[in-house]
A and B are shown apart, each in its own frame.
Chain A
Amino acid sequence: MLKARVKLDDSEFSEEVDISYHNIILNGKSRELSQVNLDVPVTGTVYGTLLNYKGSLEALKDQVHHPPYNEPPKGPVLYIKPKNTFSAFARPIPLPAGVPELEIGAALGIVIGKTASKVKKALAMDFIEGFTIVNDVSIPHESVYRPAIRFKARDGFCPIGPWVVSKDSISDPDGLGIRVYINGQLRQENTTVNLIRPISQLIEDVTDFMTLNAGDVLLTGVPENAPLAKANDHIRIEIDEIGYLENPIVPGKN
C-alpha cells in the first residue's frame, strides 16, 4: 500500500488515503478508482516547464542556433496553466471547434509541500509533498518563440490526478517511466531519467527567482514526440509508482 492524498468530488477537503495501483481505500473499504468521483487534488498555481527533456530540445535541432531562437535556452523556460484549465480524473477534455487534434503532454507534476524560496538542490526534496500526473494538453503549435496561451490555456486543458502520491512512496522521481496510451494503444514511452534539469535542479533554478507555495505544482516537462489525439479518443497517462490518469476527448461547444 502507498500513501496518497485525494480530493473526492463531494468533499470539501482532500484526505490522506492508502492506495494501490487501481484501488483506493476509503473508510476501510477498497474501491476501484473508476468507481470513485475524484476532484483535482491540488489548489495552487501550475507551472509548466518547456524543453526539459533532452529529446525535446534535440528535436529542435539546428533551429536553436537560428532566429528567432539564436541560442539554446539557458534558464528554465516556464509557463502557467491557469485555473480554467484544471480538470480531474475521468473528466472530458473539450476539443475546440475547428481543431482536429490535440497534443497530449504527459508530465510528472511535483507538488510543493511548503514555501520554497532560494532552495538549494541538496534540500529540494524537503520542499516536496509528493507527485502527481498531469496531462498538459495543447493545440499543436510549431513555434515556441512567443507564449502560447491560445494553444495551452483552453478550458479543461490540464487534467491532474488521480492523487498526490507522498514522496516517501516514490523510490526515485528522476527514474520514473511515463507511458501514454490512446484507446488502449501505447503511443509514447519515456522516462524522467531524460530530464535536462532533474527535479532537484529544477527546483533550485525556479525558486531562485520565484517563490513556490504549498499546493503549487511544477511540471517537469513533456517528452518529445507528444502523441496527437482526436475527438472521442480515450487518453491514459501512466507514470511508474504513481498510477494512471484517464480522460476522454469530447467535441467542445465552440
Chain B
Amino acid sequence: MKKARVAYAGAIHEACESNGQLKLADGRIVEEQDVVWLPPLVPRTVFALGLNYADHAKELAFKAPEEPLAFLKGPNTFIGHRGQTRRPLDATYMHYECELAVVIGKTAKGINKAKAFDYVLGYTIANDYAIRDYLENYYRPNLKVKNRDTCTPIGPWIVDAGDIPDPMNLSIKTYVNGKLTQEGNTKDMIFGIAELIEYFSSFMTLSPGDVILTGTPEGLANTAVGDEITTEIEGIGKLVSTIISDDIFTKGQGPSYNEVHN
C-alpha cells in the first residue's frame, strides 16, 4: 500500500495509490495532477545522514566516517511531491540529494540491529537539497545549509515496509529535466538501515513518526531556477520538485507580510 496526504477540493485527505490514480479515504478517486501533494506524514524527529555512501564521501573528498554523521531537520524544511524549492539569489552551488527515507512505526530504545526492521513502518523518498555556499565548519553541515524552508521535498507517499522485501538493494536515481545525473544503490550505504536504527536507539528513544534520511550516493550536480528534479527509488516511486527563484518571494509585493500584519 502507498499512502499519501493530499489537499483536494478544500480539505486535507489521506489517500492511497490505486491504478495510477489516488483513492481518497472518503472513497473518491482523483487524478494525481488534480491534488496538492503534502509531505506523506507530519514528521516528528528527522535525522539525516551525511557521507553515508562511500562513493559520495570520496566525491566530497572525505574519508568514510567511523560513526554515522547525522544531523536533525526541523518541520519548516519539508514540502510534498511536485512542490517548489527556493533557490537563493546568491547561491552558486545548490545540489539535490536523493535519499531513501525510513519511517519509524513504533517506540524503539536499545534495539539490536537483528530486530531493527520490526520498528520500520515504511519507506518514502526525500530530496535533501544543500546549498554549499553556506557551509561552515561548525556543527557541519549546519541548518543554514540543510534546514531551509522548502529545501527538503519528501514523498510522494509512504510505502508499507511489507511491500519492500529488501530495502538494502534498491536503485536510486536523480534526473534533472529528464536527464539522468545520479545513480546508486542502497546496498552501498556505509551504515545500513538496521545499523542506523541500532545506533540512534542506543542513546535515544525513537518514536512513531520519526524519519531517518539515509544519505545519498555520488552524482551531485548544481541546479538552476526552472529545473525539474526527479528523485526516484526503485519500488517506491518518483518525487518531483521544481527549483524556483528568490525573486518570486519578494518582487512587486510592496510591504512585506510582516509589516502588513503588525
B256 surroundings in chain A (CB, below 8 A): 118
A85 surroundings in chain B (CB, below 8 A): 204
- Which among B138-146, B170-178, B184-192, B233-241 touches the partner chain? B138-146
Cβ-defined contact, A155 with B204, below 8 A: yes
Given A77-B142, A210-B77, A82 contacting B72 (CB threshold 8 A): yes
Q: Shortest Cβ distance from A75 into chain B, in angstroms? A: 5
Cβ-defined contact, A118 with B258, below 8 A: yes
Query: Could you jot down 21 A-B contacts, CB within 8 Å?
Result: A50-B138, A69-B138, A76-B144, A77-B136, A80-B45, A80-B73, A80-B74, A118-B258, A123-B259, A126-B262, A127-B258, A145-B137, A146-B139, A147-B141, A149-B72, A153-B72, A153-B203, A209-B144, A209-B147, A210-B74, A213-B75
Q: What class of interface size applies to chain B in its complex with A?
A: 35 or more
B110 surroundings in chain A (CB, below 8 A): 254
A79 surroundings in chain B (CB, below 8 A): 71-72, 139, 143
A59 within 8 A of B: no
Q: Shortest Cβ distance from B152 into chain A, in angstroms? A: 11
Q: Shortest Cβ distance from A226 into chain B, in angstroms? A: 16
Cβ-defined contact, A210 with B148, below 8 A: yes
Cβ-defined contact, B71 with A149, below 8 A: yes
Within 8 A of A (CB), among B63-102: 67, 69-77, 88
Per-residue CB contact flags for chain A residues 111-130 toward chain B (1 = under 8 Å, else 0) read 00000111110010011000
Interface secondary structure of B, over-half rule: loop
List the interface of chain A (C-beta within 8 A of B).
45, 47, 50-51, 68-71, 73-80, 82-85, 96, 116-120, 123, 126-127, 144-150, 153-155, 209-213, 254
Pick from B67, B72, B137, B149: contact of A80, CB below 8 A. B72
B117 within 8 A of A: no
* Alpha-carbon separation in the docked complex, A134 to B75 (Å): 21
* Alpha-carbon separation in the docked complex, A147 to B19 (Å): 43
Cβ-defined contact, B74 with A45, below 8 A: yes
Per-residue CB contact flags for chain B residues 117-146 toward chain A (1 = under 8 Å, else 0) read 000000000000000001011111111100
Cβ-defined contact, B139 with A144, below 8 A: yes
A83 surroundings in chain B (CB, below 8 A): 44-45, 207
B204 surroundings in chain A (CB, below 8 A): 82, 84-85, 149, 153-155
B139 surroundings in chain A (CB, below 8 A): 50, 77-79, 144-148
Lowest 6 CB-CB distances: which A-B pairs, in order? Answer: A82-B45, A80-B72, A147-B71, A78-B143, A77-B138, A211-B76
Q: Shortest Cβ distance from B4 into chain A, in angstroms? A: 23
A120 surroundings in chain B (CB, below 8 A): 258
Q: Shortest Cβ distance from B103 into chain A, in angstroms? A: 16
* Nearest residue, chain B, Cβ from A254: B110
A146 surroundings in chain B (CB, below 8 A): 69, 139-140
Q: Shortest Cβ distance from A41 into chain B, in angstroms? A: 19
Cβ-defined contact, B142 with A154, below 8 A: no
Cβ-defined contact, A75 with B136, below 8 A: yes
* Alpha-carbon separation in the docked complex, A154 to B206 (Å): 11
A82 surroundings in chain B (CB, below 8 A): 44-45, 72, 204
* Alpha-carbon separation in the docked complex, A209 to B134 (Å): 11
A74 surroundings in chain B (CB, below 8 A): 136
A148 surroundings in chain B (CB, below 8 A): 139
B140 surroundings in chain A (CB, below 8 A): 145-147
Chain A CB within 10 A, most for which of B75, B139, B204: B139
Cβ-defined contact, B207 with A84, below 8 A: yes
A-B contacts besides A74-B136, A79-B139, A82-B44, 8 pairs, CB < 8 Å: A70-B137, A75-B144, A83-B207, A127-B258, A149-B47, A150-B67, A155-B204, A209-B143
* Alpha-carbon separation in the docked complex, A51 to B44 (Å): 26
Cβ-defined contact, A96 with B138, below 8 A: no
Q: Shortest Cβ distance from B30 into chain A, in angstroms? A: 29
Pick from B76, B134, B206: contact of A213, CB below 8 A. B76
* Nearest residue, chain B, Cβ from A150: B203
B205 within 8 A of A: yes
Given A47-B74, A70-B137, A117-B149, A75 contacting B259 (CB threshold 8 A): no
A51 surroundings in chain B (CB, below 8 A): 138
Given A45-B75, A146-B139, A117 contacting B207 (CB threshold 8 A): no
* Alpha-carbon separation in the docked complex, A84 to B200 (Å): 12
Cβ-defined contact, A84 with B77, below 8 A: no
Q: Shortest Cβ distance from A168 into chain B, in angstroms? A: 16
Pick from B45, B77, B134, B262: contact of A75, CB below 8 A. B134
Q: Shortest Cβ distance from B43 into chain A, in angstroms? A: 11
* Alpha-carbon separation in the docked complex, A1 to B149 (Å): 39
